Structure 1
Amino acid sequence: MDSAWLAQSFSVNLVSVILVCIVLASVLQGAVRGASGSAQRFMLFAAEGVATVVSVIVAWKLSDVLSPALQSWLVSKQIGIPNEEIGIFRQMYYTFVTGVRDFPLLRIGIVFVLVYLACKTVLVRIWMFVAFSTGLLGKTSGEGGRSWMSSGVGGAIGALIGCGRALLLIACLFVYTALYPQSSFTKYVQASDLYMQGATQVIAPVGGELLVDRLPVFAKAVGQEFNQILQRKYEVIDARIPNDIAEAAKQVTAGKEGDEAKARALYQWVGTRVQYDWDKVEQYEQKRIWKEQSPEDTFSTRMGVCIDYSRLYAVMARSVGLDVKVVTGLGYDGQGGYGPHAWNEVYLAEESKWVPLDSTWMSSGGNWFNPPGFDKTHIRQA
């Protein structure tokens, strides 16, 4: 969203307008409900807020305890991806289960959400039971019995509820501005006097330092782990290693000692045996038709694009005992820009490190097995 366009189109800041509308709508609701109805609504609003805060704290504490326990339990189950062709639902199952087992942020997030929902549901139900049992919540008076005084008090209570709702929106906008401080929308949001008052006087003193300093780092970590989860799907889909591919990989690496020698031999084989499928690219770019193919298809046709090179390399590497990943992201296009691309990372046990390689680019010349500056032409998706 372009802030200059917004500024020219409206004489007032839309963020301020929305915040004012939230409060006014709540005041109107309060006046319509009257004092009794608004008071009950306020109690519900306050109780839900307290339940939310308590549930977040409980879920945060318990997730630290339950997450390692869940991981240990999943590890004890020795869940392995079967070396056979499996349907889409089993693919989703193994991707999810092994992802929860292997990726800590995903595991903590799932535990947190489950505990939070359970805790909040219990607290709200307990409060509702107590409130109805003690008469704190009950039937409100009818429309005919409502006085101007009742509507006025209801409107005042509605204003308090509206301020609470507005602060929730300000908190959400504060999170966005912390994650994207340089965006044009952030500048537009910060041009709102009402937003800045709520952000600087309420949100920032309560948790602003934590959000500004740690949230971007946390978001980056979540993005990186999410990318790893997306890569897991290739491990699940390509878990089955066809006999002809395994035999070819065995022949290619025959006599090679060490992980690097085997990894280089497979890199050269895939890069020289598979031809880039320009027709497949053209079909996708012009007609948006994507021809999905398995590593077995790539092996038999000797044709494919970057993801096909990478998946075939991964299957061949795993068949000879190498630990390998399919990586997706952006690759330099040679014209000053970057485009969608895929490559591999392989673990070299003798050096105890992961190294990148690009068999697709090897086919067009040059050394793309862990060359200097690889990260300048390849940007991992995050």
Structure 2
Amino acid sequence: MMTEWLNSLKEGNGITVLLLLVILFSIFQGWNRGASRSAGKLVHFVGDALLRLIALAISVPFTLWLSPKAGDWLTKLGSSLPDRELKLWEQMYYTAVRSIADFPLLRFALLFIIGYGLVGFMLRLLAAMTLGSRISLFGPGRDSSASLLSRLAGAGIGGVIGAARSIILIAILFIWVSLNPDNGFSRYVEASPVYKQGAQAVIEPLSGTIVRERLPVFTQSVQEELNGIIQRKYEVIDHQIPEGIEQTASHIVEGAETDEEKARRLYDWVGTRIAYDHEKVRLYEEHRIWKEQTPEDTYNTRLGVCIDYARLYAMMARSQDLDVRVVTGRGYNGQGGYGPHAWNEVYLSEEGRWVPLDPTWAQSGDWFNPPRFNETHIKEQVF
């Protein structure tokens, strides 16, 4: 084992260096403090860990019980938006309320953080009152009168504390590697024998297959909820449909009998009536000046870029009771590469499926649910 560690150090593996430095620093701290103060630090370290475990044991079931009740209450609180243009703070408020109400992972995380903090504080206060202990930010200091034997014992205790600290770092790295197994940094981490042996000896036996098999699924769920939060944001911002836009959309779809016919007519109108705003793109590319605009701005000026086309289309479609989404990702630039882009997806109830459409590209061809749409559009987020 030591030979592998030494070879890794000679090769300059940063992970090996970091983990061993943590242990050496803790040993030095133990030597500096002496046995009695190091033992006090160890007791403090173990006691703090125990309090955290108790706080977790209380907070998790309490949050599981509270979360659905909070969700029901927040749903009622954010169910109706004022029938007027919202101020910035109101947009932030309703976006937060609706997001927390609609997404259980986000709601659980927020309630857990609050509950864990409160329970942890109460436990520490109770420990201080009953045991007469106090939590120190820096721990015991240097004992200048410690004997050589006391310092050696302190160094040994420091080594135990350093090993525990290294295991915590290994656990964090283990989660990263599990989520990004093919990443270059992950391979670099796994090249460290200190990391590898620590993960195999401690982390994997404790976690079993939970981290490697379930954490990526959990992370995907988190990403989906983050995308949903963006969706709630634009639902709140664009909730009030100006009368002119609604009347225009109603006139466009007049006589249409199916969702597909309504969706295509709106696609044709937005795609042919709105002109691409090249000046807006130039300002951003050359000066990093972004001109934010609402769907009403796009409707009135008849100018916009892809996200403006997509938001206007979404507002017009929703005004006619169509289910529609704005999609962001990357679109083919015609030169062998891809650039940032936005488009829409609309739900056709007769067919029971979502279909893609790109009103920005409408003047270059038929981009309403064409074959092989995904070959030119790479979806990243939906809102």
Length-normalised TM-score, structure 2: 0.89
Q: 1:216 corresponds to which letter in structure 2?
A: P
Alignment-derived partner of residue 350 in structure 1? 350
Worse-matched range after superposition: 345-354 or 30-39 = 345-354
What letter corresponds to residue 374 of structure 2 in structure 1?
D
**Aligned letter for 1:377?**
T
Runs of 4 or more off by more than 6 Å in structure 1? 7-10, 139-142
Q: Once the two structures are superposed, what CA deviation does each residue of 1:157-214 show, in whole Å capped at 9, x if it has no partner? A: 1111111111111011111111111111111111111111101111111114211111
Q: Could you say which residue in structure 1 is the equivalent of 2:108?
A: 108
Deviates more, 1:327-336 or 1:14-23: 327-336
Is the Cα–Cα contact under 8 Å of residues 27 and 158 in structure 1 kept in the other structure? yes
* Residue of structure 2 equivalent to 1:31: 31
Question: Using the alignment, how far apart are the partners of 2:292 and 2:27 within structure 1?
Answer: 56
Amino acid at match of 2:187: K
Deviation at 1:233, TM superposition (A): 1.6
Give the superposition deviation at 1:79: 2.7
Q: Which moved more, 1:256-265 or 1:16-25?
A: 256-265
Residues of 1 paired with 2:193 and 2:67: CA distance?
42
Separation in 1, partners of 2:287, 2:120:
49
Q: Answer yes or no: is the 8 Å Cα contact 2:78–2:98 preserved in 1.
A: no
Mean Cα deviation higher: 188-197 or 99-108:
99-108
> Who is 1:252 aligned against?
252
Counterpart Cα distance in 2 of 1:326 and 1:86: 21
Match of 1:177 in 2: 177
Greater CA drift, 52-61 or 327-336: 52-61
Query: Partner residue of 1:223?
Result: 223
Is residue 321 of structure 2 the alignment partner of residue 294 of structure 1?
no
Structure 1 residues 284 and 69, CA, compared in 2 at 3 Å: closer, same or farther? same
Q: Give the number of equivalent residue pairs.
A: 371
Q: 1:23 to 1:243 in 2, by over 3 A?
A: same
- 1:257 and 1:55 map into 2 onto residues whose CA distance is 59
2:327 maps to 1:334: no
Q: 1:78 Cα deviation (Å)?
A: 5.1
Distance in 2 separating the partners of 1:255 and 1:25: 77
* DSSP-derived class of the 2:132 partner: helix
The CA distance in 1 between the partners of 2:308 and 2:146, in whole Å, is 72
- State the shift of 1:337 in Å: 2.5
Cα distance in 1 for partners of 2:140, 2:290 equals 61
Root-mean-square deviation (Å): 2.5
Aligned-pair distance for 1:142? 8.1
Is 1:379 paired with 2:378?
yes
**Within 1, Cα distance between the matches of 2:43 and 2:370?**
64
Asked whether the equivalents of residues 231 and 327 of structure 1 are also in contact (C-alpha less than 8 Å), the reply is no
Unaligned runs of at least 5 residues, structure 2: 1-6
Q: What does 1:1-382 align with in structure 2 at a 5 Å threshold?
A: 11-77=11-77, 79-132=79-132, 143=143, 145-366=145-366, 368-381=367-380
Task: Determine the C-alpha separation between the residues in 2 that align with 1:100 and 1:124.
Answer: 29
| Cα shift at 1:24 | 1.2
- Contact 1:249–1:320, Cα closer than 8 Å, also in 2: yes
How many Å separate the matches in 2 of 1:76 and 1:184?
A: 47
| Cα shift at 1:148 | 2.4
TM-score between both structures, scaled by the size of structure 1: 0.89
Structure-1 separation of matches of 2:206 and 2:109: 23
Distance 1:10 1:259, change over 3 A: farther
Q: Name the SS for the 1:291 alignment partner.
A: coil
Amino acid in the other structure paired with 2:151: S
Bigger mean CA offset, 272-281 vs 304-313: 272-281
Q: 1:51 to 1:353 in 2, by over 3 A?
A: farther
Can you give the 5+ residue segments of structure 1 that lack an aligned partner in the other structure? 1-6
Distance in 2 between the 1:133 and 1:208 partners? 36
Q: How far, CA to CA, are the matches of 1:362 and 1:141 in structure 2? A: 71
Q: CA deviation at 1:350?
A: 3.4
Say which SS state the counterpart of residue 127 (structure 1) adopts. Answer: helix
Q: Which moved more, 1:203-212 or 1:342-351?
A: 342-351
1:115 Cα shift?
2.3
- Per the TM alignment, residue 50 of structure 1 is displaced from its structure 2 partner at its CA by 2.3
Is the 2:8–2:193 Cα contact (8 Å) retained in structure 1?
no
SS in 2 for 1:363: helix
Counterparts of 1:355 and 1:123 in 2: how far apart (Å)?
54
For residues 151 and 380 of structure 2, what CA distance do their matches in structure 1 show?
55
For residues 55-78 of structure 1, the C-alpha deviation after alignment (integer angstroms, 9 at most, x for no partner) is 334433333332221111122335
